[in-house]
Amino acid sequence: MKIAVTGKGGVGKTTIAAGLARLLAVDGYNVIAIDADPDANLASALGIDPDDAANIVPIARMTELIAERTGSTPGTMGGFFKLNPKVDDIPDDLSVKANGVKLLVLGTVETGGSGCICPESILLKALLKHVVVRSNEAVIMDMEAGIEHLGRGTSESVDAMLVVIEPGQRSIQTARQIKKLAKDLKIPRTFLVLNKVHDREEEEVLRAYLPDLPVIGIVLERESIRKADIEGRSPFDGDPDYVADIKVIKERLQTETDELSLMEQA
Ligand SMILES: Nc1ncnc2c1ncn2[C@@H]1O[C@H](COP(=O)(O)OP(=O)(O)OP(=O)(O)O)[C@@H](O)[C@H]1O
Ligand SMILES: [Mg+2]
């Protein structure tokens, strides 16, 4: 199962990605959680101690590794470098392990404009391609709305993309843009997650704005989730109701991805 979680800033991507990763780990899957958000904070949502989380070095900042694997020093442009760097050992060797989840923090590439082909982005793209296309682990990616890390040849292999929205027009607008992007990137399925929902009425209003995106789950607005975040804890460890909401999403995703792989085999 390879799932990308996207949506506007602050809607709850990290909260939902962390819950899915933790639940899949409880189920016995080998889980890789990818923090692809420039403002990385998946670690504490997974239950990693905030002090340890602050010490995680993102892959994009591992200068020696990047130089060794690509044959070119980060920060430089042009010259020759390997377009297919070795990455298959990175998930095991350079992830941070917590609660049965292997966390890979990607970090940002200073592109200074679009379309940069620099050693850092080559390595990150190759790494994502490896975990999404070749590895047989469950992969949950916490992404910014832009999802541009998902290069050609990788996005097609993502089983589903979750677009998180919250009550508010801005997150709905972003969801519409992401939906288009997902189509361009040939991601086979896109689902909505309604987060921070107060009541049934709010749920219906949200659904009505995006009628052509199926809703895969609803996570209610809960004080416990906010509190866990403030205290640098995972909501997974303290709130069974939140876990129950995420479980519905996980189970539906399992059904959907099973169907997808049956279709592929046929
Ligand atoms: N269902 C919920 N109920 C209450 N608070 C929530 C809920 N979901 C998320 N939050 C809170 O909203 C804030 C944003 O959540 P989160 O960090 O998961 O969003 P994000 O989309 O990953 O944000 P960013 O774009 O900054 O990475 C956090 O303080 C989080 O604890
Ligand atoms: Mg986040």
For residue 73, the domain's CATH number is: 3.40.50.300
User: Are residues 166 and 129 in contact, defined by beta-carbon separation less than 8 angstroms?
Assistant: no
Better pLDDT: 9 or 150:
9
**43 pLDDT higher than 70:** yes
Q: Residue 180 belongs to what domain range?
A: 2-265
**What is the model's pTM?**
0.94
Q: How far is the CA of 11 from the centre of ligand 2 (A)?
A: 8
Q: What percent of the chain has pLDDT over 70?
A: 94
* Number of neighbouring beta carbons within 10 Å of residue 255: 10
d(CA 70, CA 96): 23
Q: What percent of the chain has pLDDT over 90?
A: 75
pLDDT at 115: 56
Tell me how far apart the alpha carbons of residues 156 and 175 are, in angstroms, rounded to a whole number: 19
Mutate to test the pocket of ligand 1, among 6, 8, 14, 163 (most ligand atoms within 8 A of CB): 14
The upper half-sphere exposure of residue 87, i.e. CA atoms within 13 Å in the direction of its Cβ, equals: 27
Nearest CA to ligand 1 atom 12: 12
Strand partners, 4: 141, 161
| Residues near ion ligand 2 (Cβ under 5 Å) | 13-14, 37
Nearest residue by C-alpha to atom 16 in ligand 1: 12
* Alpha helices by DSSP H, the chain: 13-26, 42-46, 50-54, 63-70, 90-93, 119-129, 169-184, 200-209, 223-230, 240-265
**Residue 7 bridge partners (DSSP):** 164
Write the pLDDT tens digit of every residue in 63-100.
Answer: 999 999 998 876 666 667 788 899 999 999 999 999 99
| Model pLDDT, residue 112 | 54
Ligand 1 atom with the smallest distance to the CA of 145 is 25
Q: How confident is the model at residue 262 (pLDDT cuts 50, 70, 90)?
A: confident
pLDDT(173) > 60: yes
pLDDT digits (tens, 9 = 90+) for 247-258: 999 999 999 888
Amino acid found at 254: Q
Mean pLDDT of the chain, nearest integer: 91
Question: Which pLDDT does position 190 carry in this prediction?
Answer: 96
Residues 6+ apart with CB under 8 A from 231: none
Ligand in nearest proximity to the CA of 10: 1
CA distances for 265 relative to 97, 107, 259, angstroms: 33, 36, 10
pLDDT of residue 108: 82
**C-alpha 15 to ligand 1 mean position (Å):** 6
Question: Which atom of ligand 1 is found nearest the CA of 229?
Answer: 31
Under DSSP, is residue 218 helix (H, G, I), strand (E, B) or coil? strand
Nearest CA residue ID for atom 9, ligand 1: 12
Q: Is the pLDDT of residue 114 over 60?
A: no
Contacts of 244 (CB under 8 A, 6+ apart): none
Domain count, the chain: 1
Taking residues 51-59, report their average pLDDT.
94
Q: Does the pLDDT at position 113 exceed 60?
A: no
- Amino acid residing at 87: V
Q: Does residue 248 contact residue 220 with C-beta atoms inside 8 Å?
A: no
Asked if residue 142 lies in contact with residue 13, where contact means CB atoms within 8 angstroms, the answer is yes
- Mean pLDDT over residues 131-135, rounded? 91
pLDDT of residue 227: 95
Give the pLDDT band (50/70/90) at residue 231. Answer: very high
Average pLDDT over residues 31-58: 93
